[in-house]
Copies of this chain bind each other. A is one copy, B any other.
């Protein structure tokens, strides 16, 4: 008796899930034009990860602090003649669906968004010992793999900087190829132009890459 109830419930659930899925499609179909911001590589059925202006500038990304953390290189100003290229803590994030794809394939899918959020060195001492602790947020960078938008760039990656000092820029054009891409292409070619040698989170899940 319990078995047949379960079967019946399962059948009802299956039908309802199907109907709910259809209703979602319908709801999207009648959404006002422009309700979902257009993006080059938005996963189907999801809001765009990032948004561009009509003239190709990237709007300041949001929500990335809930993405997957990739790693945290640290280039303190005091070890870089007072001004590091990326001052100072780098918190690197990848969008969750691209991480899932990377877990399966070891590849960065078309549409991957990487965010590098920078923060200053704050306290040099804590109850945990001597070292470096994050101070305040100072900067924001993004790298986006998009075979249409950046078809002429090495690896189809576009790189953006919203500045290294608050307030950050609201929207920015891609950096010139020589500014970012050339170095990534030269130093991280084997790992899809991402410096995964510094990111154990990526190395741990990639099926083949190191």
Contacts and interface: CB of A to CB of B under 8 A. Distances in A.
Interface of A: 2, 5-6, 9-10, 12-13, 16-17, 19-20, 23-24, 26-27, 30, 65-66, 68-69, 71-76, 79-80, 84-86, 88-91, 93, 96, 99, 119, 122-123, 126-137, 183, 187, 195, 197-201, 204
Quick one: copies of this chain in the complex?
A: 2
B200 A137 contact: yes
Contacts of A6: 30
Nearest to A72: B72
A152 to B, nearest CB: 22
Contacts of A135: 200
Most buried by B among A6, A20, A86: A20
Contacts of A136: 200
A201 to B, nearest CB: 6
